[in-house]
Amino acid sequence: MAEHSEAPGRLAAIIADPGSAPHDSSVTHVTGKSEYVDDRPMVKGELHCGLVYSPYAHARVRRLDIAPALAVPGVVCAVTAADVAHNAWGTIFQDQPIIAAAEVNFVGEVVAVVAAETKEALAKGLTEVVVEWEKLPAIRTVAEAVAAKSFIGSERTIATGDAVAALARSPHRVAGTLEIGGADHFYLESQAAVVYPREDGQLEVHSSTQHPTETQHVVAEACGVRFSDVVCIAKRLGGGFGGKESQAAPIAAYAALVAKQTGRAARLVLSKDDDMIITGKRNPFRIEYQCGFDADGRIIALDAMLHADGGAYADLSTAIMERAMLHCDNAYFIPNMRVRGQVCRTNFHPHTAFRGFGGPKGVALIESVIEDIARVVDRDALDVRVLNCYGPGQDMTPYGQRVEDNHLPELFATLTERCAYRARRAEIAAWNADRARNPDGHSRGLSLTAVKFGISFTTRFLNQGNALVNLHRDGTVQVSTGAVEMGQGVNARIAAIVAEQFGLPTGSVRIMPTSTEKNANTSPTAASTGTDINGAAALQACETICARLSALAIRLRSIPPESWAKKTAGLGTMPEIAVGSGVSPRGTDEQRVEFRNGVVTVTDRSGSVFTVGFAELVREAYLNRISVSEYAHYSIPDLGFDKLTGKGRAFLYFTQGVAASEVELDRDTGEVKVRRVDILMDMGRPVNHALDMGQVMGGFVQGMGWLTTEHLVYDGNGKLLSHSPSTYKIPSVQDTPRVFNADLIFNHGNSVNVRGSKASGEPPLLLSISVWTAVRDAIMSARSSDASVSSGQHAQLVPLAIPATAERVLRGLSPQMFAAWDARDMQVANGGQQ
């Protein structure tokens, strides 16, 4: 893996290492000392909680009897819908009951919570709850939802130009349907919460949540108490990836309802099986599209209709759809585009946020279309991408935001050369055609795709955060923000920002557990904005403190040390030093102040220097009754996306990158081997280079899983069958690319974000689409070289659903054989003879 690299032109400025401090919990993770929710010691009288949930996708609750469960020794209480003060919740629309009453709408919908003193009593009590169900018809597919007009929200449109007219006059067109499956978050720590009842009706909630504020509010409403009576604390998460942005809230509410009813601490930790069955996934999509282009492959028009499976309730699906629509252009200028989006209501668990939100769906669409265009015009797909790439004069998105600080052309050019794309393309073509070297007829494919990922919440009011910074008299710092640490390293990044501002080692900065009593009304740690929003707020607080300390240091310079407060404050023999406004964090034009290596230096215009230790200066500030604590609020500026018109500045900036992936397909098993991956990304000026590299490579591999192996399988009742590690295939170390090169450019031109950095959480995952397009390339190459179809057909456009499982790869490679088998199976199913 390479370090920083030099790119042409504007990308040439490089520094040795912008910061690679270790993850703040790396030692405790390795030694097993990191504390998660279920690691909290049991307290006296604490209860174990479990859930009774629907086995049917859609059913009426004819009878619910908890009395037999309450008769089990050790069972203390059972909570139903009747015990919920406000039985509706939802991040966007409050359309989902916390506990269902008369009707259930998905397998896993909770109808009762049982609490017991032991796990054994809990298991027995859960089986004793009596529920009589009346099974009802269920909507199981997007097509069924469309036919029934079963929708969530209204249809949305983002458009520019006249796509319909431009399509009609386009010399060439492709059309098709792209089926995109869901995926499970598969965080290692399941949904979990412990709730402690406190005096005077207060509740202290410890939750594995990405959104402590929403969890606080849902708990308060469910229990019928004020928001101020609930404190939600999230020390760290064992992974989230969006799955704990909204869906952690009802889990905490279940435990809180028990705690409120019994006056005893209550703990609810889902098993992996229950977690996967109950919680929503990445939204499945069905996309129908038409694209017009010229003989060179330049896109003239794109018209697409996106349908998303939202599941039984709204959750975040309408916002996810919006993000998908906003990313259908990806890295390419499309003069005429119409993208429509509609979320469908089905009888599955309510689908929810997942790393990339809806962005991967839109990017998969346009990258697949470009592969098809390349086949039709007989050009390399990379050339078609470069031809259509955003550039000077063609830098306006379909929603009316200019692509600023655009490095996409340089990224394409640099990676093309670095990964020897042209030579490898020729070698792959030779390999695929040479049965002497490739006797099994395995097919290889290569694809180089891009990402232009917008960073900000598209709901403007979410783009705010706050921070509390406390300096202590030994020179150490405590920082509290609304950011939640879930393994991504947001704590280490914020610590680095604070440490740099004060001129301290990062070890002097302690990031405190996220708590709603210190940081209220916070946004979720999501949309790759954790460091952007919370780090900027922390920086503002630090700057205010630094301004006070700078003013104090300037005053101390002219005061003999024997007259400083450390000598006189106890006796009151000298007047206090008062500091006012007019001094910046770095002093004045006459006297510049520098915070560096634990020392504060004041330098005047003559070059005269005065120094004082940072800790000593903090003590002097305290003794002079000068505040060394500060609260700050930050809101991302210059945002204005109109959701009704589909126009405006939706994002503060774009994280950009490119990736080239080479794959080999086994024609006998359908197995996909990723032979090599090369990634090049623009992360601005990284706050922590090592953590960014981890996010790039980890996000890419996670995306590979969604695109190739992670297949959700449901039974006829709508229950998830692949609900454990034995049946759900996430990537393992054996699935990682055999050769894996990742690198960052160092972009000095980025200045809109905190410390010139760019977000690294979600964008790398979208680059893994290059693996899927490489698989398509390999399939289409194999089909085109097949003697039975090569004559009479210029291009083989092979649809490939996501995930590209082994079976789907085999179907793509041998469609005629599978068509015959499918016809035979259909005949048998209809009572015919084999």
- What single-letter DSSP state applies at residue 229? G
Residues 218 and 360 in one domain: no
pLDDT of residue 7: 38
Residues 259 and 319 in one domain: no
In angstroms, the Cα distances linking 672 to 192, 626, 711 are 35, 64, 15
All residues at 6 or more sequence positions from 434 whose CB lies less than 8 Å from its CB, including other chains: none
369, 389, 409 - which closes a domain: 389
Residues 197 and 302 in one domain: no
Phi, psi (rounded to 5 degrees) for 47: -110, 145
pLDDT of residue 2: 40
Residues 372 and 508 in one domain: no
> What's the CATH number where 323 sits?
3.30.365.10
- Angle between helix axes 248-262 and 212-223 (nearest 10 degrees) is 40
Is-contact 652 605, C-beta < 8 A?
A: no
Residue 366 falls within a domain, yes or no? yes
Rounded to an integer, what distance in angstroms lies between the CA atom of residue 736 and that of residue 705?
Answer: 10
579, 604, 635 - which closes a domain: 635
Residues 231 and 300 in one domain: no
Map tokens 């610590």 to a residue: 495
E strands, 11-166, in order = 47-53, 59-65, 75-79, 103-104, 110-116, 130-135, 151-160
pLDDT of residue 795: 53
Total number of residues shown for the chain? 834
pLDDT of residue 696: 97
Residue 500 falls within a domain, yes or no? yes
Residues 91 and 176 in one domain: no
Task: Let me know if 54 is exposed, middle or buried by CB neighbors in 10 A (0-12, 13-18, 19+).
Answer: buried
Q: Structurally, how many domains does the chain consist of?
A: 3
Rounded to an integer, what distance in angstroms lies between the CA atom of residue 213 and that of residue 205?
Answer: 11
In angstroms, the Cα distances linking 99 to 232, 267, 289 are 21, 17, 40
Residues 176 and 226 in one domain: no
pLDDT of residue 832: 64
Sort strands 599-604 and 591-596 into parallel, antiparallel or unpaired. antiparallel
What tokens were used for 80?
A: 């139903």
Residue 401 falls within a domain, yes or no? no
Residues 317 and 292 in one domain: yes
Buried b (16+ CB within 10 A) or exposed e, 254-271: bbbbbbbbbebbbbbbbe
Q: What is the pLDDT of residues 279-310, one digit of tens each?
A: 999 999 999 999 999 999 999 999 999 999 99
Residue 19 falls within a domain, yes or no? no
Rounded to an integer, what distance in angstroms lies between the CA atom of residue 799 and that of residue 779?
Answer: 10
What tokens were used for 53?
A: 């949930």
Q: What is the pLDDT of residues 456-474, one digit of tens each?
A: 999 999 999 999 999 999 9
Residue 772 falls within a domain, yes or no? no
Collapsing DSSP to helix, strand or coil, 287 comes out as strand
Map tokens 């920086």 to a residue: 539
What tokens were used for 147?
A: 């036919």
Residues 203 and 243 in one domain: yes
Residues of the chain with pLDDT under 70: 1-19, 786-795, 832-834
Q: How much is the pTM? A: 0.95
Give a three-class secondary structure readout of 724-751: CCCCCCCCCHHHCCCEEEEEEECCCCCC
pLDDT of residue 834: 47
Residue 551 falls within a domain, yes or no? yes
Q: Which residues are catalytic?
A: 762
Sheet arrangement for strand 514-515: 75-79, 110-116, 47-53, 266-269, 192-197, 203-207, 230-234, 514-515
Domain span at residue 491 reads 464-635
328, 363, 389 - which closes a domain: 389
Residue 408 falls within a domain, yes or no? no
Residues 166 and 223 in one domain: no
Residues 329 and 359 in one domain: yes
Residue 325 falls within a domain, yes or no? yes
Q: What is the pLDDT of residues 301-359, one digit of tens each?
A: 999 999 999 999 999 999 999 999 999 999 999 999 999 999 999 999 999 999 999 99
Residues 519 and 502 in one domain: yes
